[in-house]
Amino acid sequence: MKNRTLYLLFFLAVFCSFQAKVRLPALVSDGMILQRNQDLKIWGYADAGEKITVKLINKTYTTTADKNGNWMVTLPKLNAGGPYRMTINEITLKDILVGDVWVASGQSNMELPMRRLKPLYENEIKNANNQNIRFFTVPQKYNFKTPQNDLDGGKWESTNPQTILNFSGVAYFFAKQLNEKNKVPVGIIHASLGGSPVQAWMDEKSLQKYPEYLSEAEKWKNDDLIKSTESEEQSLSKAWYAELDQSDIGLNQHWEKENDVSGWKTMLVPGSWEDQEGSFDGSVWLRKEIILPKGTDQKTAFLNLGRIKDADVTYINGIKVGNVTYEYPPRWYEIPKGVLKEGKNTITVRVINGSGKGQFIADKPYYLEIDGQKTDLKGEWKYKTGAKMERMAPGQTFIRWKPVGLYNAMINPLIHYKIKGFIWYQGESNTGKPKEYGDLLSTMISDWRSKWNKNDLPFLIVQLANFMEKKDQPLDSGWAELREQQRQVSLHVPFTGLAVAIDLGEWNDIHPLNKKTVGDRLALQAQKIGEGKKIIADGPVYQSMKKEGNTIIISFRPGTDDLVQGGLKGFAIKQKDGRYQWAKAKTKGNKVIVWNDQITDPVHVRYDWADNPDGNLKNTSGLPASPFTTEKN
């Protein structure tokens, strides 16, 4: 009996060891979409010398793990189709499709999920059900020491009303459009992180021309420095907020439940209390009373408080209904039954502002909705200061944005996975030093293509949208310069495309909601560049200028120059040794004539050169012209 037990234990140990020999990367898993019409790589890890057998569509492929336990099998090109099963030794992968796979990367406008776009696309979300659009969302990690070979999690997910909420809005609409046009599955590998600059997505070798970025990356290889920096900043932040809470008389006296607001002042929402109180950092409480009809206590509701700088905690009738800890997300709060009541209801908001001007952002919606009926919350609110701090909230280093870190952890693990191309929405975080951006982006594109060993992979760029308040005069702009750098990359780097978004922005929101049009314009570029279709994918593309008297005549690339006729906005003109001044402009056939009656010897023209321009130059395909300057070609 004892020998039999020992034998059984030995057998189980050998069996478990055998079962554990083969391990697959996160990307190679159930539900994956493989790239059509390219030789494919399937790879993984095993014991040294382990024989690997891969079976797919009635064919078998074999290899042996090397001395380090790494193995790779090359599969021949496949046509679009599926679903298929793949076996790798004892592992079976199910529901595999073959189609087109794109890597979507960048910062927050690429990251922005469909749940944040719900007001615009509620029906899209509700009706989403497409097994042929699948996402793999790469975990947001950084590593400064070495490029990683695998991801720390992630899975392939097909589209339904639940999963779509976490999908990138831009990438989803891009995938949907391509799926509809090409009738093949589309997979998105989504690797983005809000706030990240381009240098965070580049490896050490590609940053050789930028010693300051390499030095920064080297600095953060020190784990102790990361831990001490994060610990110190967390400690300082915790102390600031603890001091604020201790000092906030509204918090201590429970103003969320207090009904007596006779000593409170009045302000308009949207707006800022600082317009009356002067600038300060700290907390402010605001109160609004509304009257609701009979039966309200049995209703659910939706509260939309637009956007608030910075953080808020919101109460209705003394009950907390939601909070957001920083300035960018919209304040959308679902109100359960029993919170509202018949008659008088009070909405109380505690706002915490750590730096800059605290405010309820203008031109945003503010309402309470019950059964489709909206109660407007704009107008007079009562407010009272909770606490004024002597110093602003402590800053943060944002280590995750430092050079090299995101490439190592989020891009390098993808490079064996065959893809169709890249879509890229990034640049807001580089507007402080825009003139270097074109070189950085061009270098990154070249490096990524070399990592995938395919120099003609399409790289499709979303140009930055219009943002911030309009200016009365034509001035220099970091945002305009960065858009120009993006335009130059699209003109001079092969197999790149530019999706212009200069007409899609919101002056008061760095995250405009119209992501469908962005995705659709990227899809046009994908069809033109990635598939060679003869379509118009660009608005008017500036080509050359010619002086005639006191006018400058602008010509555009053939094929993009079927201009919408009429008067034009957004142009500025420059006299020799002078500054740019606003200009008059009009179309004449396929050209644009620009002039200013006060300028007799013009030398250059700019179009839509501003943070938030208002130009209207389009072609008959409905696509807008990119901002441009005749000083560069």
| Adjacent-strand bridge partners of 348 | 287, 315
**pTM score of the predicted model:** 0.95
Q: Is position 103 within any domain?
A: no
In a domain, 530, yes or no: no
Q: Is residue 168 part of a domain?
A: no
Q: Which of 373, 389, 405 lies at the terminal end of a domain, its last residue?
A: 389
Could you tell me which residues come within 8 angstroms of residue 455 by beta carbon, excluding any fewer than 6 positions away?
449
Question: Residue 62 pairs with which residues in a beta bridge?
Answer: 53
Q: Please list the rounded mean pLDDT of every run of 10 residues in the chain (633 residues).
A: 50 46 97 98 97 97 97 98 97 98 98 95 97 98 98 98 98 98 98 98 98 98 98 98 98 94 96 98 98 95 97 98 96 97 97 98 97 97 98 97 98 98 98 98 98 98 97 96 98 98 97 98 98 97 97 98 97 93 98 97 97 98 98 83
In 377-534, the DSSP E strands lie at 379-389, 421-425, 459-462, 496-499
In a domain, 569, yes or no: yes
Task: Please give the structure tokens belonging to residue 109.
Answer: 């406008």
The total number of structural domains that make up the chain: 2
Residue 346 falls in which region: left (phi positive, over 0), alpha (psi -120 to 50) or beta: beta
The CATH number linked to 328 is 2.60.120.260
Q: Looking at the domain assignment, is residue 583 inside a domain?
A: yes
Q: Rounded to whole angstroms, how far apart are CA atoms 142 and 120? A: 33
Rounded to the nearest angstrom, the gap between the alpha carbon of residue 492 and the centroid of all alpha carbons in its chain is 25
Give the whole-angstrom CA distance, residue 419 versus residue 234: 40
Q: How far apart are CA 37 and CA 211, in angstroms?
A: 40
Cα distances from 294 to residues 211, 299, 303, 321, in angstroms, run 68, 10, 19, 21
For residue 6, the model assigns a pLDDT of: 47
Q: Which of 361, 389, 417 is the last residue of a domain?
A: 389
Going across the sheet that includes 591-595, the strands are: 542-548, 551-556, 591-595, 584-588, 567-568
Q: In the listed set 358, 389, 420, which residue is the last one of a domain according to the structure?
A: 389
* Overall size of the chain counted in residues: 633
Q: Is residue 548 part of a domain?
A: yes
Measured distance CA(200)–CA(408) in Å, rounded: 9
Domain that holds residue 580: 542-629
